[in-house]
Amino acid sequence: MITQKKVIALLVAGIVIGSGCAVSQTYSEEELGLRKVDLYSEKNVVADNTAYSTAAAGESKVFERSYENAPPMIPHDVEGMLDMSKDNNACLGCHLPEVAEAVKATPIPKSHFFDMRTQKVLTELSQARFNCSQCHAPQSNNEPLVKNEFKPDFRAKDAQSRSHLLDSLNEGVK
Ligand code: HEC
Ligand code: HEC
């Protein structure tokens, strides 16, 4: 005969077994991580296709700045421009301040005409800056695997589209 005690005992046993199962649930290697493949082998790893802007300089739309004084991403095609040396740099042809306005390009900012070591204003582009693509990169149009919740705080109104690093470099430093 099923007594009340037996019913309670069965219920308790059920809860114990049920919760035990939940704890011992395992994940296969393919389920771990973001790329969903065996973690010990690169064999089946296929990188996402990169999709850089193919719009010519002058026909692209600038990206939003990531945060105040962030180096802007390159919105236009850079085909044939990235082989740069200290004496040969296609980017300067449009971005030097004296030509930028005429071609509607963002002028290279004051910080790039400044020697950070000697703290002196230079008459030419700082040679520490000739390699533009060291800091400025094109952006591939891909769906991010992890959503970025970061919300930048721009203090000045135009800080969303212009940088003022040299003016604020030593802010808060005494
Ligand atoms: C033929 C002229 C031209 C050349 C060469 C050129 N750019 Fe540009 N660049 C522009 C223009 C114009 C824009 C504004 C967006 C547009 O209209 O396509 C721009 C936008 C940019 C921006 C975004 C600026 C912002 O305010 O967000 C960056 C960064 C940039 N270029 C970097 C480079 C780098 C680095 C090179 C060399 C690899 C380069 N550009 C070569 C004309 C040029
Ligand atoms: C060492 C890293 C570095 C190098 C190299 C560099 N930049 Fe920048 N660039 C930055 C940073 C950081 C900013 C934003 C803060 C600032 O103004 O310095 C910036 C800002 C800019 C801007 C936006 C200006 C504005 O008013 O918003 C342009 C255009 C630009 N750079 C072009 C270039 C070009 C062209 C080259 C190569 C000749 C170059 N940069 C080399 C780091 C770099």
**Ligand 2, residues at Cβ distance < 6 Å:** 69, 71-72, 89, 91-92, 95, 106, 108-109, 111-112, 125, 129-132, 134-136, 162-163, 165
Residue 115 DSSP code: E
Q: What is the pLDDT of residue 18?
A: 53
Distance of CA 164 to the CA centre of its chain: 20
28 vs 125, higher pLDDT:
125
Does 13 have pLDDT greater than 70? Answer: no
Identify any residues that bridge with 74 across adjacent strands, giving them in sequence order.
138
Q: In Å, what is the CA distance from 129 to each residue of 87, 100, 101, 126? A: 12, 17, 21, 5
Lowest-confidence segment of 9-18, 20-29, 97-106, 146-155 by average pLDDT:
9-18
Q: How far is the CA of 58 from the centre of ligand 1 (A)?
A: 8
**For 52-66, what is each residue's pLDDT tens digit?**
999 999 999 999 999
Q: What domains does the chain contain, in order, with CATH numbers? A: 73-140 (1.10.1130.10)
Start-end of H helices in the chain? 4-23, 92-95, 97-103, 165-168
Q: Which of 76, 86, 88 is nearest to 136 (CA)?
A: 76
Strands (E), 12-121: 114-115, 120-121
pLDDT mean over 72-96: 95
**Does the beta carbon of 90 lie inside 6 Å of ligand 1?**
yes
Answer whether residue 149 shows pLDDT above 80: yes
Q: What is the mean pLDDT of residues 32-49?
A: 82
